[in-house]
Amino acid sequence: MAKGVKPRVKVPKSAEAGEVITIKTLISHKMESGQRKDSDGNVIPRSIINRFTCDFNGENVIDVTIEPAVSTNPYFEFEAKVPEAGEFKFTWYDDDGSVYEESKSIAIG
């Protein structure tokens, strides 16, 4: 597992049923592109998060395929519909096989 990976997610605490809310996510990750060289001229191997998904009560909200052109500390902002109270689940998939998870619950009213 890459060091110092910390997911951060911003979700409102409550919403009206059926309301569309904005979600912001950020995960600290160096996203080594595989294009850079170290001081000896050797290519630094690629090490990125290649996929991000967000689900609400088991239903998919967004599924993002990520390439090395996404910046360090990948940030995503998107909108989700909230039909009922429940839990958002966020998952990031690392090149090295690690999976980072975060969840946030939301209430109605």
Partner 1 sequence: MTFTRRETLALGLGAAALAAMPGASFASTEEAIAAFTGGAEVGEGGIELTTPEIAENGNTVPVEVSAPGATSIMLLATGNPNPDVGTFNFGPLAGSRSASTRIRLAQSQDVIAIARMEDGSFTRTSAPVKVTIGGCGG
Of 2-10, 70-78, 93-101, the segment contacting partner 1 by CB under 8 A is 70-78
36 binds partner 1 (CB under 8 A): yes
Q: Binding to partner 1 by residue 9, rule CB under 8 A?
A: no
Asked if 12 is part of the footprint of partner 1 (rule: CB under 8 A), the reply reads no
Which of 1, 35, 103, 105 contacts partner 1 by CB under 8 A? 35
State whether residue 83 is helix, strand or coil.
coil
Is there a contact between 12 and 21 (Cβ–Cβ < 8 Å)?
Answer: yes
Pairwise CA distance, residues 29 & 32, whole Å: 9
CA distance 102 to 90: 5
Stretch that binds partner 1, among 1-9, 73-81, 95-103 (CB under 8 A): 73-81
Rama region for 83: left / alpha / beta (φ>0; ψ in -120 to 50; rest) = alpha
Which residues would be at the binding site for partner 1 (CB under 8 A)? Answer: 20-22, 33, 35-37, 55-56, 59-72, 74-81, 83
